[in-house]
Structures are given as structure tokens and as C-alpha cells.
Structure 1
């Protein structure tokens, strides 16, 4: 059922008359719905010529924007051709592309565009944004797009601060006093701007997002990534002396190192419907004064798993469903496969992965056994890189990060396997 636009969403559609129109702010705040509605108006009534839609990837663009349009309009008026990367909306052809692919620039650099739509703009390379601006050369061409906030010195935030008009978080309109502002209208949303969300759902989201993610994804603020990454991690709450019975061994996460430490963590789903890191194994070649080959690492990991005590049982040894391996260690993944341990390369989306682990900690859905001393120590010290933040980048410090990386690999990559099994529903991408 399509619900009518109200409040700030409706107002933003009416005000989206600039060359660049950007909806930014909290998750689930109706900014995508409003921007999509305005984009559909433009496709029907805007100037003739080529059109384009870009997202972080073609997959996320389809999931976030194209699929909801198909649901609203039906496949006759909105038809997506995945093979060619083209969308037909009200009979007009629209080129689609993912912004994280260098080919995206190649795909648009030869086009003269009458209009464009962008999803997750803050994740784009600045070069793509600049190229897109040169392509919008048909008279009356407009751009419509959305993003969640990033750091305060991000290239997009610098542009947003120069917008000719700003509909701010409180719903007030500010018009630039600059003599030559950007022909841009900016619309800032908070979670509370969506009147169609239930109070229970809003409370649930506010509990799940903590620290940096609460400020960005709930309050819609462009704030820096600074200090401890897992500032919600509490040894009294999250480090345990006893593990419940494990109903399912989700897998082992591995941060591969040759000169750097190699760290593996074992993740299980407990009978209490929580996730538990029950054991870990680490090899620091600098301390041991010996580097191991991939074959030796594989042997040692399998030997370690064979000696892990099974909680609430007299049995020893576990067989995890999968090993999730550092994406740079393709050779080691193959070695594990050859040695009989099912393996896959990890999803190394750093910020989404940190958000997944943060959510688990904030809801008390992830514990670490006290025996994992190096993992606990590194989790407490895992911090944002201040120098990277000054450049607008959200990057953890590359110091003592091997355990946290292994934990992020297994926790985030396998979320589709465990999210429906936990005692509390998580609002995370599958």
C-alpha cells in the first residue's frame, strides 16, 4: 500500500527545484521515498534526453530505489533490464551504474544528460560526482539524490554547506547569504521525520544504533569518527566466564597474517539465542620468531578446532559451518578448502561491519569468553584514526586490529545465517 507523502517529505518534494537536490540524514526517515517520488515526476515531465541512475553498486541501487519503484508502479511502467543495466521508466530509458566501479565514470563520460538520480552519494568517489556534473548539460537538467551522513570534512558535506537553500533537521528553511551559493537545495532528515514508522520500531532502532552510528543514522548529523570504536563494549557485560550450550557453530573468522599476527575467532549461536565467541587462536610470528606457511596455518587451525571444549558437554572438538577468511588471503582460503574446511572470503565492508558488531554489543547479543585475552585487549583499544578523520575518511587505526578484524569478518559476513535466530530482531541489511 502506497502511503501519501506528509510533513517534511512532502515539503522537500515541493522545494526540489534546484539544479542539485539532495536528501540527507537518518535511516528510514522517508528521504528515499521523497526523492524517488520527485525523480519519477521529473522523468515524466522533465526535458528530453538521456537519464542516469547511480548507486554505491548496481545491486544496492536496485534494492534501495528501483525495486520500490517497481512495487509502486508495476513492471509495465517500470522495467529493469539487469543484463544491459538499463531501466525503462514511463517509457524513458535510464542508464544505471554502480559508483564503486571505475567503469561508472566511463559509462557516463560520453553522455549528455538531461537528469540523474544518485543513491548513497556519500559513498561515491568525488571524481564521479565531478564527472556527473559536467554531463548534466541539457538545458534545465536536474540531479536528485540521497545519502546518510559521514564525517564533517567529507567532500559532499563541504558542498552541502554551500547550498542556496537548506531545509534543516528542525524543519526550518535557511537561505544562503553567500553572494554566489551553489544551485543546490539540501533537505536534512531525522528518524522522527517519518510519521509512518511505529513508535516500537523507532525505539528499537534507537537502541540498536549507538555512539557514532546513533548521531549519524538516527539524528542525521555529520560528525567525525573519533575515539574508541566499540565504546559500548563493557567487560562486565560482554566478557563471560561460562558459555551456554551451543546450538550451531556459525563459523570461524580469520585475519590472516604472515609477518603480522594471524588471529582466528570461533563464533557460535547459543541456546540462549545470543552469539558467543567461545575460543580463539593466534600466531604472532614476531613473538614466535617463526613464520608459518598457509599449509601450516591450515593444520594449526584445524588442530585448534579439534581441541575446543564444547560448552555444557564433556566433548572436545567442533566443526564450524564455514571459515570466513581475510579477503586478501585467497591462497589460504583455497588451502582450507583442500584440507576439508569449507571457506569463503569475508565481506570487508568496514563501516557496515563495525555497525553490525556495535549493534550486537549494544543489545547484549554478543559475548566473548574470558579465555580470549588478546581479542578482549584489542577490542578495548580499537580506535578511529584521527588523521584519516581529518581527511573525511572513517578508518580504524591499523594497530592491534587483528582480533577485531577477525571478529568483524565472521560476524558481519554471516549475518544472514544468524539474524533470524537471535532473541531480538536486528534491522541490518541481509
Structure 2
């Protein structure tokens, strides 16, 4: 109710901005986006406004789609000019224009130059570069304009934490901290399920909603006693993949995965280091090693996207190759989710895998600068693990999302 009505309550209506941060699934985006349009349609007519997400695609998926439903149910007419990335919202003779932006990198600041706006809404602002947000907030020059921010927490030295949450009085901003318990649409069993998804730093940020450092071992949820099993025979699984992290002097890793009863098992590992052996292999030798590794098993191969020559060599040898998505932080989070929920298990003899679980750590120096980053050492098996989970478990799960109704497209 605070987020919905702050712009008209006597104690807060004169503030310039609102910041809603906290846990996932707390309802921040839904209630803030509705409040933003209600405010702008109440206080303005024939004005321009901004709506920003990390990408236009994520903005349309996470904000615009549910927003259209809510506005239609309240008697607003919404015309979506998709080619211009602009929504035209009207009711009772009033009409305002909402331009959509993606703030994915430093170059995104160029997209908002020249816009004169009466307000700007930032969904998941902690994922955006400071340069984009500064440029966008500078566009709000109409009298009575306000800024709206929501996000899940990052590290305590993140630029948004330092520049906005730590300076609320200076910025004339209201902050509302959300948890999942604030979302009336979530049942206790649903909340409990989300709490099981995360561990370590992601639990503190996405469940407790805290701005905390990523420090220590990355996979602090690793438990050999519950996540390993003895595997003698790798035949008879429903389907197979191989995930691969490729190096010349650095180690090259192959992981063989098999699916049975909705669980993916890491069955075997291959590990070769040119530096340790003082004998660097070329692409053809690794292709030969791949043939010995998979034998007669038919498996698609997920490969480090930077390994262009090796991908070409594998395809020439007749393998089906998938270039991996190298999104490190989201990939790590999805690996933790898969481990916590029993979606992946490991053979009990994966020597290099288990060694890296205990040595794969967060970069303390990067954390001091507000950046989540892992130490690039003892990470080759971890990369191959991440490629598999992100491409097979996460990507396939998100690809099954139901299509939206025609009238919302």
C-alpha cells in the first residue's frame, strides 16, 4: 500500500523518488509499475515517461505484460507501438506516452539522450550501469517529475547502494524494503519452495534481501554425502550431453551427463592440462580424446563459446555442438539451485570436480569495488558444470514458458 500510494500521501508525496529493494517474488515490480502509471495518469497529460529494464525483452516480459493486464482491467486503453518501443496509455481524455529502454551496458546511455520526461521507472536497476541510470534520471526535467527504482540486492559496495540507498535523505527518496511475506499472492508452501532454491550469498540477497558481499567458497552448499552416488555403468540413460571447457595451456575439461528419472547425473570427467604435462595438444588431439571419452554414446556437446576453432573441429568430425552461454553469475546461481533441488547428482569418483568445489572462491578485491566476480583459478571443471546447467536445465526450463495471449503481444 505504501508503494501504491506514496505519491499522494501527505508525508511522502513531496519526495522525488522511491526505492523498493529486497527479496525475489516480493511483488515489487507489479505494484510499482501499476503505481507509476496511476501516478503519471493522475498528475500529467500529454507527457513522456521512461520505463527501463536490463533489456527490452526482459522489460516486456517482466513489466509490460502484467502491466497491460492490470491497466486493461482498470479501464485504461493501451496501444503498444512495438516498432517505436512505446506505449500510449489513455483514459477519460488523458493520454501519456511511455518509452521503453534497455540498460544493459555503458553504450545504453546514448539511447535516452534527447528525451524530455516527466518520470522514469527502472526495473532491476542494480543490473544496469551507472552511466545509463545517470543519463536517464537527467532526462526527468518536467516539473513534478519523479524517479522509481526497484531491485534485488547486490554487494554493499554496488554503485546503486552507495549512491541511492545510502543517500536517501540527500536524494529526497523513500525506501521500502520488501520480503516475500509482503506478497499476498504467495502461499507458505510457495515461499518455502523459493527458500530452498538458494544458498550462501544468493540466499542472503534474494531471500533475506540483504546487500552483502559475495565471499568465501562459491558453492558453499556442496555436500558430497547427499549429492554423490556410485556409478559403474554409464549406459542406459535416457539422454546425454557433454559439457566442455577448452584450453590450450590451461586445462581442457569434458563432463559426461546422463538423464534418468528427471535427474541429470555427471557420469565421467576428462581433464588434461598442457601446462602440467608440458605437452600442449591441438584441436585434432582433443577431438580424438572426445571420441574416446564418449565412445558409442550419442551426445550433443556444449562448448565454451570462445573456443571457436575447437567448435569447428568438432563439427567437422560430425558432432552436434552447442555454444554455451557464459553468463557467470546467473550460471552460478542456477547451479546452486539445481544442486539444492536434487536436479543434478555426481558420480563419486570425479576427482577434479570435487577438488574445484573446495577451491572455487569469490574475488575479494572485486567485491570491494562492488563487483561480483570469481577468482579465475581452479575453475575449469566449474565452468564446464555451469555451461551444462545453464544451457540444459535453466534454458530448457525458461523455454517452456507458455505463450502470451494474442491481445497482449
* Equivalent-residue separation in structure 2 for 1:337 and 1:396 (angstroms): 31
| Residue 207 in structure 1 maps to residue 200 in structure 2 | no
| Residue 127 in structure 1 maps to residue 131 in structure 2 | yes
Residue from 30, 35, 47 that aligns with 1:33: 30
Q: Deviations over 1:129-163 (max 9, x none)?
A: 12122221222221212110000111111123344
Q: Corresponding residue for 1:266?
A: 256
CA contact (8 A) 2:303 2:321 kept: yes
* Equivalent-residue separation in structure 2 for 1:334 and 1:30 (angstroms): 45
Q: Corresponding residue for 1:318?
A: 297
Residue from 2, 10, 15 that aligns with 1:18: 15
| Residue 88 in structure 1 maps to residue 77 in structure 2 | no
* Equivalent-residue separation in structure 1 for 2:309 and 2:150 (angstroms): 39
Cα drift, residue 332 of structure 1: 2.5
What TM-score comes out, normalization by structure 2 length? 0.87
CA contact (8 A) 1:163 1:185 kept: no
CA contact (8 A) 1:51 1:113 kept: yes
**Secondary structure, in 3 states, of the residue corresponding to 2:384?**
helix
C-alpha RMSD of matched pairs (Å)? 2.4
CA contact (8 A) 2:325 2:387 kept: yes
* Equivalent-residue separation in structure 2 for 1:62 and 1:390 (angstroms): 33
Residue from 218, 223, 227 that aligns with 1:238: 227
Gaps in structure 1 of 5+ consecutive residues:
1-5, 165-175, 307-316, 421-430
Q: Deviations over 1:233-285 (max 9, x none)?
A: 012122222278754334221112112111121222223x2221111212211
Q: 1:7-406 counterparts in 2 under 5 A?
A: 9-10=3-4, 15=12, 18-47=15-44, 48-74=46-72, 77-90=77-90, 91-164=95-168, 176=169, 181-242=170-231, 247-271=237-261, 273-306=262-295, 317-320=296-299, 322-406=300-384
Q: Deviations over 1:95-149 (max 9, x none)?
A: 2222114442111122222211111100111111121222212222212121100
Q: Evaluate the alpha carbon distance shift between residue 297 and residue 87 of structure 1 in structure 2; reply closer, same or farther with a 3 A threshold.
A: farther
* Equivalent-residue separation in structure 2 for 1:63 and 1:200 (angstroms): 25
Q: Evaluate the alpha carbon distance shift between residue 160 and residue 242 of structure 1 in structure 2; reply closer, same or farther with a 3 A threshold.
A: same
Larger displacement relative to structure 2 (394-403 or 332-341): 332-341
Q: Evaluate the alpha carbon distance shift between residue 248 and residue 86 of structure 1 in structure 2; reply closer, same or farther with a 3 A threshold.
A: farther
Q: Evaluate the alpha carbon distance shift between residue 335 and residue 232 of structure 1 in structure 2; reply closer, same or farther with a 3 A threshold.
A: same
What TM-score comes out, normalization by structure 1 length? 0.83
How many positions carry a matched residue from both structures? 387
CA contact (8 A) 2:3 2:35 kept: no
* Equivalent-residue separation in structure 2 for 1:199 and 1:160 (angstroms): 32
* Equivalent-residue separation in structure 2 for 1:398 and 1:11 (angstroms): 47
Q: Evaluate the alpha carbon distance shift between residue 296 and residue 134 of structure 1 in structure 2; reply closer, same or farther with a 3 A threshold.
A: same
